[in-house]
Amino acid sequence: MQANSILEKRVKAIDCNHFINGEYVSSKNGKTFENINPATEEVLGKVAEGGKEEIDLAVAAAKKALNGPWKKMTTNDRIAVIRRIGDIILERKEELATLESLDTGKPYWLSSTVDIPRAAYNFHFFADYLRAVGTEAYQTDDQAINYAIRRPVGVVGMINPWNLPLLLLTWKMAPGLAAGNTVVIKPAELTPMTATLLGEICREAGVPDGVVNIVHGFGPDSAGSALTEHPDVDAISFTGETTTGKIIMSAAAKSLKKLSYELGGKNPNIIFGDSDLDEVIETTLKSSFINQGEVCLCGSRIYVERSVYDEFLEKFTAKAKELVVGDPFDPKTKVGALVGEEHYERVTKYIQIAQEEGGQILLGGKRPEGMDKGYYIEPTIIVGLTADCRVIREEIFGPVVTVVPFDTEEEVIERANDTHYGLSASIWTNDLRRAHRVAGQIEAGIVWVNTWFLRDLRTPFGGMKQSGIGREGGMHSFEFYSELTNICIKL
């Protein structure tokens, strides 16, 4: 399988160095690792493998930059610089989208219409938001006046996953910069290319040296752990697996760093019999299989009211069968390659477990016929599993969904909440009272009614239970990325 479009030939994959104090540098010890194209299994290039030494340099640069020109810039100038990063991302959209698809295996149409435009919008949104951010003031009878001043937290470490690389990295970086912090970013080791270009983009936009630093490398015993353990890092914003979040929390405890976590999910998609099934199916195809199911918000546990269960399954399976799996650069492709070999093995293993647990594979469950290279798995629909099965309980993060019938509202609420995750949920119903009633009882940070992944960046985004700590978005991001000092003046 060859990704052979004209686009891909025009934009060359890049080797990835660290970006520290405004300069691209290799690792002190010269170590690199290979970046693999998951769609072809070919080597895309080399990535500098950072460790403690590079993190030390990056944190020192970020610490020094905290009190430099970044601090002295007027709010208007900072807004202009942050907006300019977004502008340049849009100017270089084709190049960035190509690199993102080469790195992740996701369809080019997706990276060029969602990942990269949204990365640009993260900067535009938080630049504009900064203009409106204030603090609070209270008059204490006629004795005193209290007012709070907002200041940056300091040096913020940002650790990112591979599924929406630039979108998620900039979702942290834009508010972090807007609030006046300096940052050290650790991109996911599987997807280093767009993060690397971002260094150059920041420099061109006028970000002072040392404000943005990017160190490549792995997680444990590498750049990731060095960042979480560094005593001069004041806060960590982490997106990734719940298990990794637990490890980072214990490392961060040593210097009591502020933490913001966006973690895993096993999200319910609840379909009541009174909903419009065609609309449900159109969106459920996306919430199940878009980005190869590698979205933390995917509704991988589908619960369908028994009255429409058979009809839903028949129509949903027929439509999912039509989804073209293949070359990320072919415009017909709806589902690309999984991000890498290890993840492919993990998803395949869960499909095997589903069969061992008594599940029936209604669709997919295997590599598409004739595709011998690349980490492809067909959209997979599994039925016949019970609530205690691992495939129902554990996050798979691939194009795999389970479908289970239910009879009553109470039953489905209990099933939906029967998980240690609490990231998101979708509810499909045309009964307004039911929509409110059920939404209010689902234990999740985000509940969509008759839709999925409809985003307004002002809203609180994050998970409850083991899906996260805190919320980001709008004011919530500014609360995390800033510290308040209350000043009390006796009158």
Catalytic residue ranges: 262, 296
Shortest separation between residue 168's beta carbon and ligand NAD, angstroms: 6
Decide if residue 103 touches ligand NAD (CB under 6 A). no
Q: Which of 236, 407, 229, 221 is nearest to 309 (CA)?
A: 407
Decide if residue 452 touches ligand 6OD (CB under 6 A). no
Decide if residue 82 touches ligand NAD (CB under 6 A). no
Decide if residue 164 touches ligand 6OD (CB under 6 A). yes
Question: Residue 421 binds which entry of ligand NAD, ligand 6OD, none, with Cβ cut-offs from 5 to 8 Å by kind?
Answer: none
Decide if residue 295 touches ligand 6OD (CB under 6 A). yes
Q: Which of 171, 14, 160 is nearest to 89 (CA)?
A: 171
Shortest separation between residue 3's beta carbon and ligand 6OD, angstroms: 23
Phi first, then psi, for residue 466 (nearest 5°) are -95, 20
Question: Residue 228 binds which entry of ligand 6OD, ligand NAD, none, with Cβ cut-offs from 5 to 8 Å by kind?
Answer: ligand NAD
Q: CB nearer to ligand NAD: give 89 or 223.
A: 223
Decide if residue 309 touches ligand 6OD (CB under 6 A). no
Of 96-104, 294-302, 427-435, 480-488: span binding ligand 6OD (CB under 6 A) = 294-302
Decide if residue 296 touches ligand 6OD (CB under 6 A). yes
Cβ-Cβ contacts under 8 Å for 172 (sequence gap 6 or more): 156, 158, 160, 183, 237, 239, 260, 472
Question: Residue 152 binds which entry of ligand 6OD, ligand NAD, none, with Cβ cut-offs from 5 to 8 Å by kind?
Answer: none
Q: CB nearer to ligand NAD: give 199 or 264.
A: 264
Shortest separation between residue 462's beta carbon and ligand NAD, angstroms: 7
Question: Residue 225 binds which entry of ligand NAD, ligand 6OD, none, with Cβ cut-offs from 5 to 8 Å by kind?
Answer: ligand NAD
Decide if residue 186 touches ligand NAD (CB under 6 A). yes
Residues that bind ligand 6OD (CB under 6 A): 163-164, 168, 171, 262, 295-297, 455, 461
Residues that bind ligand NAD (CB under 6 A): 159-163, 168, 186, 188-189, 218-220, 224-225, 228, 239-241, 244, 247-248, 262-265, 296, 395, 397, 423, 463, 468
